[in-house]
Amino acid sequence: MQRAVITGLGTISALGNNADEFWQSLIAGRCAIDVLPAMQDITIGIGARIADYDDSQYFTREDLGLLDRHSQYAIIAAREAVADAGLDVDDIDISEAAVILGTGCGGKCTDEETYDTLYKRGRKRVHPLTIPRGMPSAGASMVSKFLHTNGPAFVISTACASGAHATAQAVSMIRSGMADVVITGGADAPFTYGLMKAWEALKITSNDTCRPFSKKRSGIVLGEGAGMMVIESERHARQRGARVYAEVSGIGMSSDAGHITRPDLTGITAAMENAIRDAGIDSNNIDYINAHGTGTVLNDITETLGIKQVFGSHAFELAVSATKSMHGHALGASSAMELIATTLALYHNIIPPTVNFTDPDEECDLDYVPNHARQAVLDAAMSNSFAFGGCNAVIVLQSSSD
């Protein structure tokens, strides 16, 4: 079985337009949540938007006709990840690379533009590229088109765990020998009127800020963007002398088969246990958990309980942080951004903090690395993603030996 290693990282989010800006913001504890421009009658007042995004900086006018906003983000991050991996050079052929993209919303920006044209503006015709631009698989197709890869390309959609499930699929493909190089991660662009109204109706968004694990937490704050990684077989990476950030040693998945939004202790502990077992390590070896940590009352209590159940007394020794407090909840992209944060934490031996942390909650009694990054020797780390619909995915990363 081939081992899967991460050799390239790319991201665009409210925390920055590339992985370096993202990481520097994370370790500085910079919260990118800000007041949103007023949008009609929407009562959600804050979000983590990509500031001053200018699509013409990245794409030609002709390209943009094909690209839903989430596809744009996916391509920007994928281009960076491929360049970061040193795979964008002429003497390396990535034509057989696979593209596995996670997205919670897919082409909803395009869908909404279409509905606006038809139902609101009363037009009889919509943009001719509405179908290819808005189809749920568009992001994967566009990444493969723009990066000229001919391997398998498809989308995995499991709401907020999409990027983690995509990564799990990528790792499975590497392990089986089906692919040597997979470009994977997640992308989402949820700041549209209809989606904002839908989140508003669910009444779980905060108008304060995102404060995971704090007593005064009051809900999620939406974010946007993409996180993409190059995951390679260790053999392929070593042969070409690539820099290895970390090994993806464990993947664990489960389904709650229960409530559609409430996290389920049995489901999330199963996913964590499966990932640790898959990695072939003892749970005591995990030094850091990048939590799902949404900042809702229920998630943070349930996740804390789950960590204590899985890790026993070690739960009080390891570090847990929620980077959604800085990049917001970018839905399908979040789990990929958090994997990038976890990868860089291992690589640099620095734990990004949980910011906006004020009062402790007696039911959330772990070490959440409040407000300030911390240096620590890290050998193994875990990234949790527990999606609406009960689709859970957990990834274990380990330091590379080089």
Partner 1 sequence: MVLNKVTEIIATATGRSPEEITPDTELSSLGLGSLDTITLLFEMEEAFDITIPNEVIPEISTVNDIIEKLQQHNGEQSFD
Query: Which residues are tagged catalytic?
Result: 160, 292, 329
122 touching partner 1, by CB under 8 A: no
124 touching partner 1, by CB under 8 A: yes
First to last CA, the chain: 20
DSSP letters for 235-271 = HHHHHTT----EEEEEEEEEE--S-SSS--HHHHHHH
| Helix (H) or strand (E) run with residue 335 in it | helix 334-348
In the complex with partner 1, the residue whose CB is nearer, 134 or 295, is 134
Q: Which of 278, 371, 275, 294 is nearest to 338 (CA)?
A: 294
- From 129, 297, 301, 376, residue interacting with partner 1 (rule: CB under 8 A): 129
61 touching partner 1, by CB under 8 A: yes
In the complex with partner 1, the residue whose CB is nearer, 120 or 124, is 124
203 touching partner 1, by CB under 8 A: no
- In whole angstroms, how close is the CB of 64 to partner 1 at the nearest point? 11
- In whole angstroms, how close is the CB of 296 to partner 1 at the nearest point? 43
- In whole angstroms, how close is the CB of 13 to partner 1 at the nearest point? 31
In the complex with partner 1, the residue whose CB is nearer, 92 or 118, is 118
Stretch that binds partner 1, among 50-58, 123-131, 173-181, 261-269 (CB under 8 A): 123-131
Stretch that binds partner 1, among 59-67, 202-210, 352-360, 374-382 (CB under 8 A): 59-67
Stretch that binds partner 1, among 119-127, 285-293, 316-324, 374-382 (CB under 8 A): 119-127
Which residues have C-beta within 8 Å of that of residue 46, sequence separation ≥ 6? 33, 34, 35, 36, 206, 207, 208, 209, 221
| Helix (H) or strand (E) run with residue 334 in it | helix 334-348
- In whole angstroms, how close is the CB of 118 to partner 1 at the nearest point? 13
- From 52, 54, 62, 362, residue interacting with partner 1 (rule: CB under 8 A): 62
The C-alpha angle with vertex 353 and arms to 43 and 392, in degrees rounded to 5, equals 70
| Helix (H) or strand (E) run with residue 61 in it | helix 61-64
In the complex with partner 1, the residue whose CB is nearer, 115 or 236, is 115
What residue type is 265 in one-letter code? L
Q: Which of 43, 1, 4 is nearest to 233 (CA)?
A: 4
The dihedral over CA atoms of 282, 176, 91, 147, expressed in degrees to the nearest 10, equals -90
In the complex with partner 1, the residue whose CB is nearer, 129 or 135, is 129
120 touching partner 1, by CB under 8 A: no
- Count of chain residues binding partner 1 (CB under 8 A): 9
- Angle at which helices 162-176 and 334-348 cross, to 10°: 60
DSSP summary character for residue 94: -
In the complex with partner 1, the residue whose CB is nearer, 128 or 241, is 128
Euclidean distance between CA atoms 123 and 254, whole angstroms:
45
Q: Which of 169, 103, 184 is nearest to 136 (CA)?
A: 103
Strand partners, 183: 99, 230
| Runs of H (alpha helix) within 116-192 | 130-134, 138-147, 162-176
Stretch that binds partner 1, among 127-135, 143-151, 208-216, 372-380 (CB under 8 A): 127-135
- From 1, 38, 122, 128, residue interacting with partner 1 (rule: CB under 8 A): 128
- In whole angstroms, how close is the CB of 124 to partner 1 at the nearest point? 6
- From 127, 216, 259, 262, residue interacting with partner 1 (rule: CB under 8 A): 127
**How much is the CA Rg of the chain, to the nearest whole Å?**
20
Q: Which of 51, 263, 81 is nearest to 170 (CA)?
A: 81
- In whole angstroms, how close is the CB of 61 to partner 1 at the nearest point? 7
CA 216 to chain centre: 25
- From 54, 119, 125, 377, residue interacting with partner 1 (rule: CB under 8 A): 125
- From 24, 43, 65, 202, residue interacting with partner 1 (rule: CB under 8 A): 65
Stretch that binds partner 1, among 42-50, 90-98, 124-132, 391-399 (CB under 8 A): 124-132
In the complex with partner 1, the residue whose CB is nearer, 62 or 362, is 62
Contacting residues toward partner 1, per CB under 8 A: 60-62, 65, 124-125, 127-129
